[in-house]
Every structure is written in structure tokens, then in C-alpha cells.
A and B are shown apart, each in its own frame.
Chain A
Amino acid sequence: MKRSRFPFIVTGAVLVFFYLPILILIVDSFNSSRFGGAWRGFSLKWYARLFHEPAIWEAARNTLLIALLVTFVSLVLGTASALALHRFFKSRLQRFHYTLVYTPLVVPEILMGISLLMAFVAAGVKLGMLTIILAHVTFCVSYVALIVLGRLQDFDFSIVEAARDLGASSWTAAWRVVLPMLAPGLAAAGLIAFTLSVDDFVITFFVAGPGATTLPIRVYSMIKHGATPLINALSTLLLALTFTTVLVSQRLSASGALKSRTME
């Protein structure tokens, strides 16, 4: 019997739909024309100009700083919350906790942005990097907690007990047993938190204060008056960075998995 070609075609069409726009963006970043309509020759001038735009680099620096801090804080808080949720899942308090953790995922961003802004204003907090970090942590914690919770579902706690039996203090057990076993989940959660923080526009726009412009805000406002090829060039650089990170992390985890298999 001949295999149906249909799944192959659908997969192909979906992949084209995903990656064609990105490809167009990359090609356009090398177009010497400011307008994507016509090809006017290969050029690196947008990349050259990118390096003379201090405002963009300032925004990139802000974005990176915020994302790193947000990843760290939300990993700590999110993991703690996942552990509590997992251990006491039957209790009414933790079920309420679960609802609270879950809610930020379904609240519309614009609502969250406005309400956080109003809360900060009411509390008299000066808008700036700190308010962006707090706002990002608010929604990143939920993602981290749910991902780590998923990882805990098939976590074998008898290993921890074994470690305690063999004389490990609770701190050593947590540090040497629980943490390494949770590491893949933590890495996944951290990557998600980092990406969400780098990516966010709506909430960030509202809670950003003077002097705390992030990359998405900068890029968004450039669409109106700035040169779009600059955005294309910047996006291409970011894509290159993202793909390299993904490749490296895949390579690392693949070799790690191989090593652990041979050790068995």
C-alpha cells in the first residue's frame, strides 16, 4: 500500500508558513533599499548603521539586564511555589494557591499592564527598571511554577529519603539530589521566563518609567518613524543569537544524555 502524501504536504506547508516570513525578514535586512518592495542590491549598510545607534544598544542592555534578573527571581519563587503545590496539593489552601498561580496566564496582558501601573502609582513606587522587573516576575513566576510542577509529578522522592538515610542534611539533599534532578525542568522554565521577559511589549510599555525603554518598546516605536531595515538587521542578529543558543543547548543536553547512558 502506498503511503499517503498528505501528512508530508501539511507538515511542509506549516513549516513554510512558520519560516518564510523570517526568511523574508533576513533577506530584506541585506537589501540596500529602505522599502521592502524592490531589491536594490546587496548591502551591509543597515548593520553598519545599527552600530551607530546608541539608543538601540541602551535598550538592548536594559532588556538583557531585566531578563536576567527576572529569570533568576522567578526561578527561585516559582520553584518554591511548585514544591509547596506538589507537597500539599490536597489542602484547600494550596488549591487556592494553584488558582492564583494559574490566573496570570489567562488575564489579558493589557489589563495586567494597566492594573500594575495603577498599583505602582497608588503605592508611590517610582516607575523604572524596578517596576518592569516586578511586573515581569508577576507573570513569569506562573510559567516557572507550572513547568517545575509538571517535572515534579514524576519525581521519585524516595531518592531524597535515601539520601537522608545515608546521612545527608536536608540542605545537602536539596543541593546535591533534588536540584540536579530538577535541572532540566529548571532550565526549560528559565528559558521560557527569559524569552517572555525579552519579548513582552504590552505590560512593559505601561510599567516602564523614564529612562527604562526596552528593546520591544524601542522597536515598536521605530516602525512609525524609524527605518524598518534597521529593525530587520537587529532581528536577524537576535535570530542568529537565538538559533546558536538553541543549537548549543541541544548539543550539550544530547552529549549529557549520552554520557549518563554510558555510565549506566
Chain B
Amino acid sequence: MKNHARSYWLLAAVVTVVLLAGQCGGGKKAAPVLHLFTWSDYIKPELVSRFEAQNRCRVVIDTFDSNEAMYAKLKAGATGYDVITPTSYMVSLMQAQGMLLPLDHAQLPNCRHIDPDYLAIAIDKKMAYSVPYMLTNSGIAYLISKVGNFEPTWGMFGRADLKGRMVMLNDMRETIGAALKFLGYSLNSTDPAELARARDVVLGWKANLAKFENEQYKNGIASGEFLLVHGYSGDILQVQAENKDIAFVMPREGGAISCDDLVIARSAGEATLAHAFINFLHNPAVAAENTGFTQFLCPNRDSYGLLEESIRGNPGIFLPREIKAKCEVLTDLGEKNALYVKVWDEIKNGV
């Protein structure tokens, strides 16, 4: 019987020790730790090591797969993350909910390098809560050898000769937004009359589309199944690396620019280190290196001159100034979002 009881105690001891070991997970308590919560492969690993060496700290990166999942998790009370990279529309929501720390610009001298052309169209123009990190444009990619008489306009989706070989994004804000831009309205319009006209335009395009789709279009244009697609610059750049016959442009009417921002969580334990990290990422040399790695554009004006020609000379990434001025950032529409849901349903169900 004595044997019996001792075994139980041994078991309990083993479990406790193992659980505690799991909890600490080999952490060295000496150096401060910065926790970054971001998309995967969204920062060049060598830059992380450099920051760690310069600041005598450790950077731990955790990843999320959608803004909504990240928001739900933090909203439910998860803490421990310092720097987060949500998309701009989500930043507005998080700020409204009091989840973000106001930025101290005295600790962010490198913010003067940020492109004022982008800030002019950004949501948080003063960078009170967020600093832009990476931009992606949604435009048109096409096969140069297969599409004759290409013109940089959203009207290309009306071309009947490309019927069945074109794809638009399965994203109501992006696709209705393209039609709004085509008509000369704002991407963030909440005027029912404008939205009704945009709906009719998209319905006209829909007759020529193979489908509305968000992921497979990359494979489709890489293999030549699709000739012309509506897509994100970051995705298309990856495809261009393999297939030189693909060009990417932003239509002359302008389109959507989306931006992931650097923000600091209100619950951050390492606010000073978090500021240092944001400041580090906007060092022009660092920003240029990071853009080369992620293939998204860090809107750091003084880094542009340091970029490789393949990025610098790509008109789909480096928008000409007059087109950039016509682009807009998708904003969070709150309750007005229902207007878009209704129009999108009509488009999906209509012929």
C-alpha cells in the first residue's frame, strides 16, 4: 500500500515539473523580450537578428492568418504582444476600442522618412496610433503576349474577346470598388445611387469573367489559363519572378491601396523596445532590405533610391504620382457595410 501512494506522488511531481518546464519553454530571463504578432514571412529574418544584437534583446514572432482572427483573440483579452501589424481598416477599429497605445514620436525619429504622398491618402495621417509598414496595390495583371491592345483601365473587364479568361477578386470591397473607380466615384462611397451604378457595371463585367476568386488566380495566370486578372501586387510579383510574360499595372482611374500598419498594443509590456523596433524598421537602409525580401513596398521615401531596379522600375508597385493621387485606402464603413453586402448579393445572384 505504501508503494501505491508513493507512485501517485511521483506521478504528480513528474506532471508538475513537465508542465512548468513547458511553461518556461527555455526562456532566458535576462534579456528583455519583444513580442511581435504579424503575418508569416513578413520581415526579413536577418533584420530581426540585427535588431536583437543592437538592442540586446530577443524578438519572438507569432503569426496570425486574418485580421479578424487576430482581433477576436485580442478582444477576448489575450495579452503579451507588443508590436502588431493589422491592416489599416482594422487599426481604426482597434483604436476605437482603446486597444492601442498612442505613439511617442520623440522615440520615432525615423518617421520623417515616411512617404508624404502615401500619408496624404492614409487613414491615420498624423501617425497618432499607427505607422505604415507595407503597402500592396490591387490592379490588373495580364499576359503580354496574349492580350492585344491592352489599355490600363478597369474597362478591360468589359472586353468580350477575353470572355471566360478573366478573373476578378472575390472580395466585395475590392471588386465593387474597382467599378466605383471606373465610374469616377470614391472607393469608400456609401451613396446608394453610386453603388447601384457600380453594381450594373460589375454585372456587365461578370458576363465576361470565368469567376470571382482570391487565391487560384495566381496559379491560373502563371499557367496561362487566365489572360487577365484583378489581383494584389505582392502576389503578382511572386508570379512575375517565374513568368516574365506577365505585366502588372494600376488602371488610370486609380484603385485600392491597402496598408498593414505597425501598432503597439495598449497592454504591451515592452513599450520602449516596441518604439525602438518601429523606428528600426523605418531606417531607410533597413526598409529597402525588407521591401526586397517581402516584395511588398515599405512606404519609406528615403529607401526608394536603395531599391533594386526590378522593384523600382515596376509601374504596378511604384505608382506614377498622378495615379497614386487617385488611389484610395479602403476604410472601415461600420454599419454602412451592409450597403455593400446587399449590392454584392445582387451581383452574385444576378446574370
Contacts and interface: CB of A to CB of B under 8 A. Distances in A.
A40 interface: yes
Interface residues on A, range: 35 or more
Interface in B143-197: none
B18 A226 contact: no
A210 B219 contact: no
B77 A218 contact: no
Contact of A211 (B35, B41, B239): B35
Interface in B59-107: 60-66, 69, 72-73, 76-81
Interface in A30-55: 33-38, 40, 54-55
B292 interface: no
A16 interface: no
A238 interface: no
B39 A38 contact: no
A133 B81 CA distance: 20
Contact of A38 (B4, B18, B66, B222): B222
B15 A73 contact: yes
Interface string B4-42: 100100010001001100110101000001010101111
Contacts of B66: 224
A18 B78 CA distance: 38
A35 B223 contact: yes
Most buried by A among B15, B23, B81: B23
A225 B60 contact: no
B39 A224 contact: yes
B63 A217 contact: yes
B65 A129 contact: no
Contacts of B225: 37
B22 A66 contact: yes
B141 to A, nearest CB: 13
B238 interface: yes
B335 interface: no
A36 B225 CA distance: 12
B79 A37 contact: no
B62 A121 contact: no
Contacts of B41: 222, 225-227
Interface string A128-165: 11100100000000000000000000000000000000
Contacts of B3: 171
Contact of A205 (B4, B73, B241): B73
Contacts of A54: 45
Contact of B60 (A34, A126, A205, A210): A210
A133 B76 contact: no
A212 B239 CA distance: 32
A208 B289 CA distance: 31
Interface of A: 33-38, 40, 54-55, 62, 65-66, 69, 72-73, 76, 114, 117-118, 121-122, 126-130, 133, 169-171, 205-206, 208-213, 217-218, 220-227
Given A121-B76, A129-B23, A220-B65, 4 more contacts: A65-B22, A205-B69, A221-B39, A225-B41
14 contacts: A35-B223, A35-B239, A37-B225, A40-B242, A73-B15, A121-B79, A126-B23, A127-B79, A128-B25, A133-B22, A171-B4, A171-B7, A221-B40, A225-B234
